[in-house]
Structure 1
């Protein structure tokens, strides 16, 4: 039984070869049969690629104001319909195709392809997905076992795609302006977002990266550590991996460079077994899919949030009369540790106090009036 339910689905064609003039789009006038097994398999294959190692997603929201185009406002109106019919769905897809045509026409190096649109639901939420599919050449054997050329759809990767989560969009629209800073409801896959030729797809649809760096930083540390902890093979290495990850994040924060999931994978790779062919690749793919999933939404690239990072590198507490803050690695359960926690007596001992602090303490005690 399928994990998804297709509400509406259609495929149009954006007709443009790279470095050639754009041609009129090939628009289908009716939706596809959602119950057709091949149609269902196609949509399942597209959605299954989302968030995998070579199809990692950016998370964000629609642009607002100039440059957002017509698609965002029409998509929002569509999500608010109680029961959209085929005409509502097709009208929205044609608006998107017009926006894609307009952008691709102005960029000589851009290329087109088949554009799949689907309104579907799964156990998580309801989604609207737009994905570009390309053709590829292959070889098959004829009935007489003669090799012959075959043209088929390339289902190995997402060339360009965008997906909107209806539930998260509804929550975003109802949130306060302050809370909206931490929310995202759309994701998109584009191998070269910053490059005009490939980035026209997400630009035409009004997508903009913007996942909150504080949430992304915190979730990356928590969920990558959880992945190691919940994997029997990786669990013994979780502390060393976490130390390496925190060092990496600290370097990125200091340099101002963005975190990249591809680099996080490189940190995790040495701890992944490779006794069997493809074992490490399979585990790495599952690791990135876990982080980049709709549930956890760690973007493919984001800046480190200093405050969120400090929550994982430091322990701090403020009482009425004192504050305490120290790096986590300084804490230990023996008197050899710089910060020694005596569990039995519920006490903390700080070793190797600096001379300047000792002077301050001595001065304070010596200058106190006698009680």
Structure 2
């Protein structure tokens, strides 16, 4: 996998907790030499955190409510023109200015070093803004140039936002979406946020400063979760567990929807892998990473959308003279299934009907004689 850094710079600002006064700001006037191994190691390390097992991401896009500040429009101008060293540096100044301004309004914010980088990972372009702490495995010289990078983890990277540039440009040219009530909105996210904790508690000021809105709509998040189970457990070694995994996740989501609670990614992963028992421990971390990846985009926490869940867990048919709906988990291809589908005859048999339904059907048949 190729990894190439085009531009990088590190700025800083400091602020004491529980105050609104910035103690100092350092904005560099030249970019860092991206040929230095330590620079590549730092950018690569931070990027790696956004896909590392156990680190939960949230997804989003730039806001459009006229309160998003200057960063989104400046980023668009930077990408629309051919990026240069000078335009990258100017955009990085906008980022640190906005971060410092928003941090001043956040009582618990303390500031730090702000890494800004443009790079490609396996041919895909990204733009990164991250707040890093100089400690342990991250060492900078007096001019904020990385000199030793031995380990990059969440104790050293407090917040990060990564823009998928190609995805941003693709979304930019999409026509405005008008979503029917029974349809699931398109996924138009291109930002990934890394924060702290199981629920990805990305600092509000960090998200606000970059003009972002965090979150995937509940209908899209619910559908993504259902799709992720189907795809992940479609792997040859996991396929024997797919039906049980899907049913377990459906039951979990139904429970959350009924109580009005958010579904939690880590809980969802535990439910899906529960049927595996002995091998659960070896698969659950891999599944969590897949759920939260760019491929599946299941948020750290999300509200369950009732309509989407219902469509995803039930089969509905409407014919000219009749219609029916049943839960997918009831379907089988044997006579003792609750809903038996005869593949050869292309017919459905409903077993174990309740007494009320049986009586109503018998009474109706009597009228036909």
1:112-152 alpha-carbon deviations (Å, 9 max, x no partner): 111111112234632111111112258xxxxxxxxxxxx97
Distance 1:61 1:34, change over 3 A: same
Pair 1:237-2:241 in alignment: yes
After TM superposition, the score normalised by the length of structure 2 is 0.84
- Corresponding residue of 2:95: 96
* Offset, 1:154: 6.4
1:147-169 alpha-carbon deviations (Å, 9 max, x no partner): xxxx9786112310111122222
Whether the 8 Å contact between 1:337 and 1:351 is mirrored in structure 2 is yes
The answer for unaligned runs of 5 or more in structure 1 is 139-150
Aligned pairs (5 A) from 1:15-26:
15-19=14-18, 21-26=21-26
- Corresponding residue of 1:43: 43
- Corresponding residue of 1:303: 303
How many angstroms apart in 2 are the aligned matches of 1:231 and 1:351?
A: 32
Distance 1:107 1:330, change over 3 A: closer
Whether the 8 Å contact between 2:54 and 2:289 is mirrored in structure 1 is no
Pairwise CA RMSD of aligned residues?
A: 3.0
Whether the 8 Å contact between 1:107 and 1:197 is mirrored in structure 2 is no
Whether the 8 Å contact between 1:59 and 1:187 is mirrored in structure 2 is yes
1:42-93 alpha-carbon deviations (Å, 9 max, x no partner): 1111111103344211111222234311111111222212x11111111111
Stretch of structure 1 that moved more, 34-43 or 348-357: 348-357
How many angstroms apart in 2 are the aligned matches of 1:11 and 1:340?
A: 64
Task: Write out the 4+ residue segments of structure 1 that deviate beyond 6 Å after TM superposition.
Answer: 151-154, 192-197, 272-275
After TM superposition, the score normalised by the length of structure 1 is 0.83
Pair 1:228-2:233 in alignment: yes
Pair 1:259-2:263 in alignment: yes
Whether the 8 Å contact between 1:134 and 1:154 is mirrored in structure 2 is no
- Corresponding residue of 1:316: 316
Count of residues in Structure 1 that have an aligned counterpart in Structure 2: 350
Stretch of structure 1 that moved more, 43-52 or 190-199: 190-199
1:316-365 alpha-carbon deviations (Å, 9 max, x no partner): 12223322211122222222222122233332222233344344444544
- Corresponding residue of 2:333: 333
The answer for unaligned runs of 5 or more in structure 2 is 138-147, 180-184
Whether the 8 Å contact between 2:162 and 2:191 is mirrored in structure 1 is yes
Distance 1:124 1:228, change over 3 A: farther
Distance 1:156 1:193, change over 3 A: closer
Distance 1:71 1:87, change over 3 A: same
- Corresponding residue of 1:32: 32
- Corresponding residue of 2:175: 176
* Offset, 1:94: 0.4
- Corresponding residue of 2:204: 199
1:253-306 alpha-carbon deviations (Å, 9 max, x no partner): 11221111121233246456778xxx93x6433222212112222211211122
1:173-192 alpha-carbon deviations (Å, 9 max, x no partner): 22233269532121212227
Whether the 8 Å contact between 2:129 and 2:161 is mirrored in structure 1 is yes
Distance 1:272 1:132, change over 3 A: farther
- Corresponding residue of 2:250: 246
How many angstroms apart in 2 are the aligned matches of 1:284 and 1:117?
A: 33
